[in-house]
Amino acid sequence: MSLKELEAKAIQRLKAFEPETEPYYLCYSGGKDSNVIRILADLAGVKHDIVHHHTTADAPETVRYVRSIPNIKISYPEKSMWQLIVDKGMPPTRLVRYCCYELKEREGQGRVKITGVRWAESNGRKESSDVVKIIGKPKTTQKYAKEIGAEYQVNRQQGLIMNDDNDKSRRMVEHCYRTTSTMVNPIVDWTDEDVWDFLKHYGCKSNPLYECGWNRIGCIGCPMAGNHRYTHFRIYPKYKNLYIHAFDRMIKKRLADGKETTLWKSGEECFKWWMEEDPDQITFDDLEGA
């Protein structure tokens, strides 16, 4: 498909699911995909609020870049990443990403969200997302889907995913979005090349971190960034210290709560383990019993 055809398809998807009574909730991370959906929403002429969730562990370049986006709404969390680590009693890991839920995904309930999710970037690919994804009250949503004959499949997260923008899918979204987390993913089938070509075509100046070799924009120290974290902490040593202090406080709180742990005795030890071992081997339950 040519870029123009991809663009037209994405615009058609955005128009198809536009809520009647309020603007879309456009999830803006500061990365390349969120710039694409921001431009597409303007091209489609759909009403939308552009919302960025500040995580407190964002790179300073991202914070400055996001502030430069016109009409952006920046949402600040009640608790910082460092406080969350203490409260949760374990560092965030690839499998236990409580930080994403608490810092990025909690708001926007009852709104139809536009996301920049793409198969090319997500591990679960087609099994976890499609053009529309609905999470929440699985029994109720499945029952309604059956009633109206909407085509869907259920994934591991108990979400319903639909791959087209026909009338039945539209009715599903209209019926469900107030009580579920409903996401429209207009560029789900775009490749990296499509994204960069599109941004170039529209003269979009991207987050400067891409010029420094980053290929994903996320928090510094994000467990999803794998070995790139070593580079991140070399460039931003202050954030390394913030994690170590948070882990120190986390261990103290665990001890105060009577939750002894043999895994780490200090923030430094915990940080080393977090970087070098496979933290996904443990769960909250393991920690409780440690």
100 binds ligand SF4 (CB under 6 A): yes
- Part in contact with ligand SF4 (CB under 6 A); list of ranges 96-104, 192-200, 252-260, 282-290: 96-104
279 binds ligand SF4 (CB under 6 A): no
Interface map 101-120 toward ligand SF4 (x if CB under 6 A): --xx----------------
97 binds ligand SF4 (CB under 6 A): yes
Nearest to 287 by CA among 243, 257, 249, 245: 257
Interface map 145-184 toward ligand SF4 (x if CB under 6 A): ----------------------------------------
224 binds ligand SF4 (CB under 6 A): yes
d(CA 27, CA 60): 19
What residues are paired with 181 via a beta bridge?
135
Nearest to 225 by CA among 92, 125, 26, 74: 92
Positive/negative CA dihedral, 206, 211, 212, 216:
positive
- Return the half-sphere exposure (C-beta side, CA atoms, 13 A cut-off) of residue 95: 7
d(CA 33, CA 284): 33
How near is the Cβ of 126 to ligand SF4 at its closest, in Å?
22
11 binds ligand SF4 (CB under 6 A): no
How near is the Cβ of 82 to ligand SF4 at its closest, in Å?
12
261 binds ligand SF4 (CB under 6 A): no
- Part in contact with ligand SF4 (CB under 6 A); list of ranges 94-102, 108-116, 201-209, 229-237: 94-102
Neighbours of 250 (CB within 10 A): 24
Neighbours of 97 (CB within 10 A): 16
222 binds ligand SF4 (CB under 6 A): yes
The one among 7, 16, 31, 55 contacting ligand SF4 by CB under 6 A: 55
**With respect to ligand SF4, which residue has the nearer C-beta, 55 or 181?**
55
219 binds ligand SF4 (CB under 6 A): yes
Neighbours of 252 (CB within 10 A): 12
Q: Where are the beta strands (DSSP E) in 47-171?
A: 48-53, 72-75, 112-114, 132-135, 153-154, 159-162
99 binds ligand SF4 (CB under 6 A): yes
Q: Which residues sit at the interface with ligand SF4, rule CB under 6 A?
A: 55, 57, 92, 97, 99-100, 103-104, 218-219, 222, 224
